[in-house]
């Protein structure tokens, strides 16, 4: 006996097939494009606010969050009570109306690494059949409410897709099958992480100046998109992780004399092909925190050079400790291959 999940998949497949058959059968065969229509036929009819679309639901993930698109079965006309303008709308011969709607149904994937505090962009939604396209929605990705409309589609054309564009990348929702071709955005549907290794640095053994600079990192988020940097290339990804440097007391040891240093200034840099510091912050006790984005290609580890300079000033006087001293933290951060 099929499981509940198998029955759910089977019922969804039957719904998709039924929708595809109706799309071919309503109003007969034809080769009309989305721009075709009888005089007075509106290609896009905003739906009445009371309409609750009933159809096939498909999830599409954007950097701003998860949207659920609903596609209804085709119909020959839209009655006045289902239209925002309270008017009847009849589809011309060779076309049919389908209901399209979207709703926010989930938060942004890995919100911090992907958007890092920036304002998400809007998304453009178009219906395309063959070479013809038509704008349907501009999705306000910060809105919690959705939107729906009745859209003319050519009968008998199985090429009709819904294009959802965010920051230049288009995902395609096939209206006949309900499948999504996400392209590079596929990485948003299954966000992965990778381990990051950053070694601590200590003063040279036997040297007069002793200290420890601790380096701590978060796991790297493997994502195809980072706000302000854009989409990664095909076969590549962005690695986004937090890094914190925290020095201990800088102490000069001369026999039985101990002299400490204060940090007057500290500054750093990142060395790596395309590596970018997205956010950075100075912490208490000369600490440093930064969020880094590093492009990665292939499946091997990715290495990033981290340099941070500390300008020290002696506290008080005594012994042989110099008045000033400079210390440089210099390490290679290694991001391992992403976890599946």
Q: Is 37 helix (H, G, I), strand (E, B) or coil?
A: coil
* Last-in-domain residue among 164, 186, 208: 186
Q: How far apart are CA 216 and CA 243, in angstroms?
A: 6
Q: How far apart are CA 168 and CA 232, in angstroms?
A: 12
| C-beta separation of 85 from 45 below 8 A | yes
Residue 141 falls inside a structural domain: yes
* Last-in-domain residue among 157, 186, 215: 186
Identify any residues that bridge with 102 across adjacent strands, giving them in sequence order.
69, 147
CATH assignment at residue 230: 2.60.40
Q: Tokens 């701003």 sit at which residue? A: 64
Confidence at residue 118, expressed as pLDDT on a 0 to 100 scale = 87
Residue 340 falls inside a structural domain: no
Identify any residues that bridge with 165 across adjacent strands, giving them in sequence order.
124, 170
- Mark whether 322 and 220 lie in a shared domain: yes
| C-beta separation of 159 from 176 below 8 A | no
Q: How distant is the alpha carbon of residue 216 from its chain centre?
A: 25
| C-beta separation of 186 from 224 below 8 A | yes
Copy the structure tokens of residue 108.
Answer: 């942004």
- Mark whether 248 and 151 lie in a shared domain: no
- Mark whether 134 and 217 lie in a shared domain: no
| C-beta separation of 300 from 318 below 8 A | no
Instruction: Write down how long the chain is.
Output: 340
- Mark whether 179 and 196 lie in a shared domain: no
- Mark whether 196 and 170 lie in a shared domain: no
| C-beta separation of 121 from 165 below 8 A | no
- Mark whether 112 and 142 lie in a shared domain: yes
Q: How far apart are CA 283 and CA 277, in angstroms?
A: 16
- Mark whether 119 and 208 lie in a shared domain: no
Q: How far apart are CA 121 and CA 62, in angstroms?
A: 10
Q: How far apart are CA 235 and CA 52, in angstroms?
A: 40
95-106 vs 123-129, strand pairing mode: unpaired
Copy the structure tokens of residue 160.
Answer: 């009709």
| Residue closest to 173 by CA, chosen among 75, 63, 56 | 56
Q: What is the largest CA-CA distance in the chain?
A: 98
* Last-in-domain residue among 186, 219, 245: 186
250-254 vs 220-223, strand pairing mode: unpaired
For the entire predicted model, the pTM comes to 0.81
- Mark whether 105 and 233 lie in a shared domain: no
Copy the structure tokens of residue 20.
Answer: 């595809």
Copy the structure tokens of residue 106.
Answer: 């989930």
Residue 246 falls inside a structural domain: yes
- Mark whether 172 and 225 lie in a shared domain: no
- Mark whether 164 and 201 lie in a shared domain: no
Domain count, the chain: 2
One digit per residue, pLDDT tens: the chain, 340 residues?
334 343 333 334 333 333 333 333 333 333 334 544 444 589 999 999 989 999 999 999 999 999 999 999 999 999 999 999 999 999 999 999 999 999 999 887 666 678 888 889 999 999 998 778 889 999 998 887 899 999 999 887 788 999 999 999 999 999 988 999 999 999 999 889 999 999 999 999 989 999 999 999 999 999 999 999 999 999 899 999 999 999 999 999 988 889 999 999 999 999 988 899 999 999 999 999 999 999 998 778 999 999 999 999 999 876 789 999 999 999 999 999 764 4
| C-beta separation of 250 from 263 below 8 A | yes
- Mark whether 81 and 173 lie in a shared domain: yes
Instruction: Give the domain range for residue 143.
Output: 4-186
- Mark whether 46 and 162 lie in a shared domain: yes
Residue 201 falls inside a structural domain: yes
Q: How far apart are CA 41 and CA 92, in angstroms?
A: 7
Q: Tokens 């009371």 sit at which residue? A: 50
């Amino acid at each position: 006996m099929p499981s509940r999940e198998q029955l759910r998949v089977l019922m969804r497949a039957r719904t998709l097939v039924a929708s595809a058959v109706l799309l071919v059968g309503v109003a007969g065969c034809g080769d009309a494009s989305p721009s075709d229509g009888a005089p007075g036929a509106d290609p896009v009819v905003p739906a009445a606010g009371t309409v609750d679309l009933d159809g096939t639901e498909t999830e599409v993930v954007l950097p701003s969050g998860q949207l659920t698109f609903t596609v209804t079965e085709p119909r020959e006309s839209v009655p006045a009570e289902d239209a925002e303008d309270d008017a009847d709308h009849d589809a011309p011969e060779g076309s049919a109306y389908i209901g399209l709607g979207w709703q926010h149904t989930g938060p942004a994937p890995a919100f911090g690494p992907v958007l890092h505090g920036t304002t998400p962009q809007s998304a453009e939604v178009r219906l395309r059949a063959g070479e013809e396209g038509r704008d349907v929605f501009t999705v306000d990705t910060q809105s919690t409410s959705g939107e729906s409309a009745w859209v003319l589609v050519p009968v008998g054309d199985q090429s009709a897709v819904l294009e959802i564009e965010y920051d230049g990348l288009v995902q395609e929702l096939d209206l006949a099958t309900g499948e999504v071709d996400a392209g590079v955005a596929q990485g948003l549907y299954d966000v992965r992480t990778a381990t990051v290794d950053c070694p601590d640095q200590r003063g040279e053994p036997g040297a007069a100046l002793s200290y420890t600079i601790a380096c701590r990192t978060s796991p790297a988020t493997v994502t195809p998109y980072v706000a302000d940097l854009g989409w990664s290339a095909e076969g590549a990804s962005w690695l986004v992780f937090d890094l914190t440097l925290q020095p201990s007391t800088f102490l000069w040891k001369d026999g039985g004399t101990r002299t400490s240093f204060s940090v007057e200034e500290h500054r750093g840099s990142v060395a790596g092909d395309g590596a970018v510091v997205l956010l950075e912050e100075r912490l208490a006790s000369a600490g440093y925190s930064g969020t880094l984005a590093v492009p990665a290609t292939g499946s091997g580890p990715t290495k990033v050079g981290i340099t941070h300079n500390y300008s020290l000033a002696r506290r008080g006087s005594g012994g042989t400790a110099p008045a000033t001293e400079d210390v440089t933290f210099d390490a290679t951060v290694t991001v391992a291959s992403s976890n599946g």
